[in-house]
Structure 1
Amino acid sequence: MRDLAVLFALSKEEAESFKTVPRAVRSDYMHDNIEDIFFDEHLEYTQELETSWDAMHRMLTDGSLNVQNQHPPLCNVILGGEILYGLKMEDHNPIYSEEESDQLIILKTPEQVREIAEALPKRTKEACRMCYDRIDSRNYGNEKNDEDFEYTWQWLQRSLVFWTRAAKEKRYVLFAADQ
């Protein structure tokens, strides 16, 4: 699960339109109607995360890659929000969908975005490092080291302007990761 990820700040209309797309074609819609258009026409509403998203979620939460981490607002930065594609709920537990194994798509509300934008700048590098150090190397899928932490920290810092703009404009944020 260490593939490329991007955040897109969507208008209310764009978010509502996306949610009406049948689940079976959401991945194609994501590429054709969000990704292609935003990278070409709306870079100010696009924030690449490269492969940092996995460690980023872990260092903003309890060190695990858990969709059900219930410690908002920081748990909402990556895996929090409404799951639109890639995971299905089974007995109140998220499981990866074999039919949707190509991508993970999660939508955050403007309220969640506002809370994230307020909380992220307050999260210190030291606090992130403490959580990063708690990551269980056996289920991380990457080597834990100073270089990986710095890489993740830098991508988190780059995202601050994105979150602030999205919150100020009351936008939804769509997290998308290729798997």
Structure 2
Amino acid sequence: MLGVHFAITTEQERSLLAADDDGDKVREFLEDIEESWDDDASKVDTDKAWDAIHRCLTDGTLDPDGGVYPLSHAVLGGRHLDDDYYVVYVSAAEVRDVAEALRTVDRTWLRCRFDAVDYHDYDGAQDDEDFEYTWRNFVDVQAFYDRAAAAERAVIFTAT
């Protein structure tokens, strides 16, 4: 699954939350956003690195409830809006908290967490090259959350 974070406008946020009880409407909303998105500063693609990033920032698993807020909300934590795909909503107030927490994460800390992930539960190579891939994508997520927080935007993470 490929992961993408979007910093959505207040209008988009209202539309998304209005569709919350209807998976078809949520997926239609996402399709519209993905097709029309033209603001690269308000989007970050994490390819498959979102998996390792979430594990490193939480309890080493893909459990959306794993780990401690606010780091747990950087990828899979937050309000889940679809039963078939990861569509995770993080409010603008939570985005500020996540951005602040992500600023405290450095390369050494992330590497230590990366090395602690259970090999049996993680599909990545978990070698130096995999860590570098994870680190580069993490830095992009870190910068993305800073921009989203400065713009006072909510964030949605999708993985399909």
TM-score by length of 2: 0.93
Q: Is 1:110 the equivalent of 2:92?
A: yes
Deviation, structure 1 residue 56? 0.3
Corresponding residue for residue 73 of structure 2: 76
| 1:70–1:133 CA distance, 2 compared to 1 (3 A) | closer
2:56 to 59, 62, 68: 59
Deviation, structure 1 residue 142? 2.1
The separation in 2 between residues aligned to 1:5 and 1:46, in whole angstroms, is: 11
The separation in 2 between residues aligned to 1:68 and 1:162, in whole angstroms, is: 22
The separation in 2 between residues aligned to 1:62 and 1:70, in whole angstroms, is: 5
Q: Is 1:153 the equivalent of 2:135?
A: yes
Are the equivalent residues in 1 in contact too, given 2:59–2:67 (CA < 8 A)?
no
More strand by share: 1
| 1:108–1:50 CA distance, 2 compared to 1 (3 A) | same
Deviation, structure 1 residue 112? 1.1
Corresponding residue for residue 14 of structure 1: 12
The separation in 1 between residues aligned to 2:118 and 2:143, in whole angstroms, is: 30
Q: Is 1:131 the equivalent of 2:113?
A: yes
Q: Is 1:29 the equivalent of 2:26?
A: no
Deviation, structure 1 residue 70? 4.4
Are the equivalent residues in 2 in contact too, given 1:10–1:171 (CA < 8 A)?
yes
TM-score by length of 1: 0.83
| 1:70–1:142 CA distance, 2 compared to 1 (3 A) | closer
Which runs of no fewer than 5 residues in structure 2 stay unpaired?
none
Are the equivalent residues in 1 in contact too, given 2:57–2:67 (CA < 8 A)?
no
Root-mean-square deviation (CA, aligned residues, Å) is 1.3
Are the equivalent residues in 2 in contact too, given 1:121–1:160 (CA < 8 A)?
yes
Aligned amino acid, residue 66 of structure 1: D
1:50 to 47, 50, 68: 47
Deviation, structure 1 residue 25? 3.4
SS in 2 for 1:137: coil
Identity level (%): 32
The separation in 2 between residues aligned to 1:148 and 1:111, in whole angstroms, is: 32
Deviation, structure 1 residue 62? 1.9
Runs of 4+ residues deviating >3 angstroms: none
Are the equivalent residues in 2 in contact too, given 1:117–1:167 (CA < 8 A)?
yes
1:101-136 CA distances to partner (integer Å, 9 max, x unpaired)?
xx3100001111101111112111111111111111
Which runs of no fewer than 5 residues in structure 1 stay unpaired?
87-99
Are the equivalent residues in 2 in contact too, given 1:105–1:174 (CA < 8 A)?
yes
Aligned amino acid, residue 79 of structure 1: L
Are the equivalent residues in 2 in contact too, given 1:62–1:134 (CA < 8 A)?
no
